[in-house]
Structure 1
């Protein structure tokens, strides 16, 4: 049997169905004195509690709430879980990335249970609002339970009157003395005194300032749920999926007693909810500014633009709506235009930022990363954002960057709310993934992220250098620059990881080298002079072949530029005093006995940098000699009608050939 959340539950009274009774003066005085004592003890409890963290606190006058049409499926499952007395799970963990609406779900669910008089207590942690101290949680929950249930209030008042030092005990003692034992005493006296489960909501646990306390709360609640089969409390804990909380909730013994719900980004329901929030928000703005806006404002294309950028991130659309409807500007059309320019990448430095609130959230999260780990974090994020692909699994990425298992996971432990970090058991098959593009955009824009900005030039340089090293991993003669595998798995996985490291390097190297800033090109040139271009070209796919063709073009331009300007810092490295160290040579008279690289492009625009001979350009090919170590020779053939690239094995060097 379960209660209905649309009707209030009756509260048992001492005088229910009583008649023909006499109130004695002495008993009345005793009752008044007992009531005074209870209120005095309640005042003492209030002093230790944090009233501002409660559901209806004045300091939470405008808390986030779910739109009636959003998050319906997860809210209905939570209501079902919280109201069925025969459920095994008495603890629920609602998790999700930063800014996706966990607090809105917690607030809405708590209000629904309160309207049915089934809410025992609620606590909303918030670091920005200074609701972050762990020691106030249990007194705040006890204070609300005392207001909710007269019998509990009587017992806890007596306990505190007998031993006021309980409020100075450690948290586990308070949990037992103030929460568990008083309710158990009620049940021992009358097993039906609390007919329906009471919901306890703890929102934003990850914003509690003490990570050890976060674990402790989960452990002691989970331990009680596991050991006591029947108890009239349901615990709903909401947090970001931080690494230490994931580890705590992953305790195998709690799988029976803990139910999990996760708010996703970019699934179908989230995308539909985002559009719902946008439409509802724009409707309210039109009503507020009816004299400024037409009935069909904004256009469907503008709404679709914002919805596509949001990709199901409900916090994103909420911040956008708040920005457009900001009464401090009272200019929704102008704010919408600013928003669309921002999302289109057309904003200028100093312009208004529609996602300022989201940026503050990202800044808060990154601020928790220890300074000694931040450079590693930015290296990992940079390679994932600028060069992430299927081959870049967690294990491949760690080895590519020269990071061992422990350092890799330690550095990311504070970022699980903005990126997906696969467990170590899945490191050889799954990749790090940024939950939402707004975080990548934030890192790329130093005006938004400040000291947490990603140095894209440094990322390109590292990827170029490391790719060249891994591509020559098997070259014994290059042992001094040979990279080392820092994270070893089972033997069968190590072979796969090494293969994927080489393929990822091939797919990234030819893109990264031309992107390296000119101030750092000497490091790349030093590597290329020692680089053996005798590679396993037959395993490359068409996209790698195309990138390689552009790399050849870039390298030729770079060397030619160095030759023409002797004072250039590449001149001495590439030409002066050592002409045997030419990385690339071009002959506009190609030899038809050589293998060929076929590339799709306009011959005039692509080959014009190699030769000024119109006949050779019309022929569409030049001869290339590449490398200082194990030089390779081939024809670079360019044609505008080539739809894609393909490699075919040959007896010598390699052949990159069009396949129709």
Structure 2
């Protein structure tokens, strides 16, 4: 399939990201703003890691060029003809069906063709910026201002005129940040594409429905020159929304289950195993051709059930530099055959069985869980060095402990950018780890690890009081200051955590909002003598820094 870029080109959003101290001509005319202009203010209210090209998503999932051909032909034909047809395309499918890989590939193609306006990749995680639906439309507006330069002036002026827009309702936000700026410019020749991936990962079903309602208003009521590419799992409340009369006229859908293809999986496996053999020539010396055998390929195809999650995880495990590919593939085959002979009542899905096998290869399960637990509950991923500081690990521990986990965890190499994060890329892996019936000995209890992160934040906040600006890690500082009370709200109380909350230097450096959050949490947990002592300490500090609302005191 040949991709032919559209003729109209737009500059990339990154080209318009404000830099410190820069003067910007935001309106395209003679008006110049300095300092805190509207785009600077808007930038503080967006989900930074939601973009298709965010470093927080590196390496992003992509579709193999020889697979999903029919699906991509349908999608790309729709993008070119959206002006005269449905303005919304909904791609739905099960976990592991490749929805995010499709969204990534569509985003990259439309960015090259000049049609891409904005992307938002939702990600599962209670409290994460990437699951917060309230950040969707400010993020879209900011990205649209980068893709369509004419929007930048009107958008900047709207925010400068009323900065409270960013804390008001979604309805008002889209009116002021999207509808009114578009009314002041000449519309592009074809609709600008907005990609929203993983809508089901947004924080609630109610918010998901609200987002779809507002998108319909943008297109039907305001008639904006936009088209929306949306992916999600096939969930009943989303299907009900797309089955309403408005969305039946407004949208088209691609149910990926209809396009399940063992041939696509087989093509993917042959191509990727050939690449593994090429990369690991020394380790593969003496391994006869063909490798893998046709029987092994067919076993993996059977386990895949037409989805790409299982074979992609197998290939990541086999392609790891810490082992020999042929030996690792043999491990997978033996584990798969053994699992097939297990009692039906004890059987797990092939992907769950594979997760168990990968996790079981760790020589130090306790150390492994000490890192995996925080990775699951962090509100945004952190680089290895910052994660080590937060968890009081020695330098290099993250890479060392996760060296056999590359099939499940993205771990930056030593030569990678210092901004690159450690992350669990597949939502299904996080769901596995949070489900005790599936993960069993590898179960992660969220409250326990939220508490560990709070303790790490308290330690770091105490340390940075003695650091100079040159010694301070600004990103970790911002994370600890902004997120520690959010982690506390979800933490399971422990004697160690309560003891850390008695650190006087830490207590007396907290601002009223943080103090009230701590008091609220302390009042919500089972009361004990130690809890009461900690509560009285924080209440006493609050009386000194400002009169608290009556509700924060125990009668």
Please tell me whether residue 224 in structure 1 is matched to residue 218 in structure 2. Answer: yes
CA gap 1:106/1:33 in 2 versus in 1, 3 angstroms = same
Once residues 218 and 323 of structure 2 are traced to their aligned partners in structure 1, the CA distance between those partners, rounded to angstroms, is 53
Please tell me whether residue 316 in structure 1 is matched to residue 315 in structure 2. Answer: no
2:204 corresponds to:
210
Once residues 212 and 305 of structure 1 are traced to their aligned partners in structure 2, the CA distance between those partners, rounded to angstroms, is 41
Tell which has more relative contact order, 1 or 2 (C-alpha 8 A, sep 6+): 2
Which secondary structure does the structure 2 equivalent of 1:34 belong to?
coil
Stretches of structure 1 that go unaligned for 5 or more consecutive residues are 13-27, 368-416, 419-438, 453-660
Which secondary structure does the structure 2 equivalent of 1:237 belong to?
strand
CA gap 1:252/1:29 in 2 versus in 1, 3 angstroms = closer
Once residues 277 and 30 of structure 1 are traced to their aligned partners in structure 2, the CA distance between those partners, rounded to angstroms, is 48
Please tell me whether residue 48 in structure 1 is matched to residue 56 in structure 2. Answer: no
Once residues 172 and 115 of structure 1 are traced to their aligned partners in structure 2, the CA distance between those partners, rounded to angstroms, is 31
- Once the two structures are TM-superposed, the CA of residue 39 in structure 1 deviates from its matched residue by 7.5
1:240 corresponds to:
233
- Once the two structures are TM-superposed, the CA of residue 33 in structure 1 deviates from its matched residue by 7.0
Once residues 29 and 45 of structure 1 are traced to their aligned partners in structure 2, the CA distance between those partners, rounded to angstroms, is 13
CA gap 1:198/1:314 in 2 versus in 1, 3 angstroms = same
Q: What's the CA shift string for 1:505-563, capped at 9, x where partnerless?
A: xxxxxxxxxxxxxxxxxxxxxxxxxxxxxxxxxxxxxxxxxxxxxxxxxxxxxxxxxxx
Please tell me whether residue 274 in structure 1 is matched to residue 265 in structure 2. Answer: yes
Which secondary structure does the structure 2 equivalent of 1:62 belong to?
coil
* Correspondence for 1:73 among 70, 75, 80: 70
Please tell me whether residue 297 in structure 1 is matched to residue 294 in structure 2. Answer: no
1:147 corresponds to:
146
Write out aligned runs for 1:164-183 (5 A): 164-183=163-182
Which secondary structure does the structure 2 equivalent of 1:259 belong to?
strand
2:333 corresponds to:
340
2:33 corresponds to:
36
CA gap 1:357/1:147 in 2 versus in 1, 3 angstroms = farther
Once residues 210 and 70 of structure 2 are traced to their aligned partners in structure 1, the CA distance between those partners, rounded to angstroms, is 30
- Once the two structures are TM-superposed, the CA of residue 198 in structure 1 deviates from its matched residue by 0.8
2:537 corresponds to:
none
CA gap 1:261/1:301 in 2 versus in 1, 3 angstroms = same
1:199 corresponds to:
193
Q: What's the CA shift string for 1:35-87, capped at 9, x where partnerless?
A: 43597211111100111111211111201111111111111211111121542
Contact map agreement 1:38 1:157 (CA 8 A) in 2: no
Once residues 124 and 357 of structure 2 are traced to their aligned partners in structure 1, the CA distance between those partners, rounded to angstroms, is 15
Task: Quote the RMSD (CA, aligned, Å).
Answer: 3.7
Contact map agreement 1:50 1:140 (CA 8 A) in 2: yes
Write out aligned runs for 1:63-102 (5 A): 63-102=60-99
Please tell me whether residue 59 in structure 1 is matched to residue 56 in structure 2. Answer: yes
Which secondary structure does the structure 1 equivalent of 2:44 belong to?
helix
- Once the two structures are TM-superposed, the CA of residue 250 in structure 1 deviates from its matched residue by 1.6
| Larger of the two Rg values belongs to structure | 1
Write out aligned runs for 1:494-513 (5 A): none
Contact map agreement 2:47 2:129 (CA 8 A) in 1: no
Contact map agreement 1:100 1:313 (CA 8 A) in 2: yes
1:157 corresponds to:
156
Once residues 233 and 26 of structure 2 are traced to their aligned partners in structure 1, the CA distance between those partners, rounded to angstroms, is 52
Contact map agreement 2:191 2:227 (CA 8 A) in 1: yes
Contact map agreement 2:121 2:130 (CA 8 A) in 1: yes
Contact map agreement 2:26 2:33 (CA 8 A) in 1: no
1:264 corresponds to:
257
Once residues 444 and 52 of structure 2 are traced to their aligned partners in structure 1, the CA distance between those partners, rounded to angstroms, is 36
- Once the two structures are TM-superposed, the CA of residue 225 in structure 1 deviates from its matched residue by 2.6
Once residues 273 and 85 of structure 1 are traced to their aligned partners in structure 2, the CA distance between those partners, rounded to angstroms, is 28
Which secondary structure does the structure 2 equivalent of 1:261 belong to?
strand
Q: What's the CA shift string for 1:152-201, capped at 9, x where partnerless?
A: 11111121122222111111211222122221332xxx4xx411211000
TM-score, L = length of structure 1:
0.48
Which secondary structure does the structure 1 equivalent of 2:254 belong to?
strand
TM-score, L = length of structure 2:
0.57
Contact map agreement 2:28 2:153 (CA 8 A) in 1: no
Moved over 6 A (4+): 28-33, 357-360, 442-446, 448-452
Equivalenced residue count is: 350
Once residues 357 and 45 of structure 2 are traced to their aligned partners in structure 1, the CA distance between those partners, rounded to angstroms, is 33
Contact map agreement 2:120 2:196 (CA 8 A) in 1: yes
1:577 corresponds to:
none
Once residues 155 and 77 of structure 1 are traced to their aligned partners in structure 2, the CA distance between those partners, rounded to angstroms, is 35
* Correspondence for 2:114 among 112, 117, 135: 117
Q: What's the CA shift string for 1:549-580, capped at 9, x where partnerless?
A: xxxxxxxxxxxxxxxxxxxxxxxxxxxxxxxx
- Once the two structures are TM-superposed, the CA of residue 446 in structure 1 deviates from its matched residue by 7.1
Contact map agreement 2:335 2:357 (CA 8 A) in 1: no
Stretches of structure 2 that go unaligned for 5 or more consecutive residues are 12-24, 360-372, 377-426, 446-555
Once residues 38 and 156 of structure 1 are traced to their aligned partners in structure 2, the CA distance between those partners, rounded to angstroms, is 16
Once residues 72 and 354 of structure 1 are traced to their aligned partners in structure 2, the CA distance between those partners, rounded to angstroms, is 30
Contact map agreement 1:133 1:208 (CA 8 A) in 2: yes
Which secondary structure does the structure 1 equivalent of 2:119 belong to?
strand
Contact map agreement 1:5 1:115 (CA 8 A) in 2: no
Which secondary structure does the structure 2 equivalent of 1:131 belong to?
helix
CA gap 1:164/1:47 in 2 versus in 1, 3 angstroms = same
Write out aligned runs for 1:605-616 (5 A): none
Write out aligned runs for 1:634-645 (5 A): none
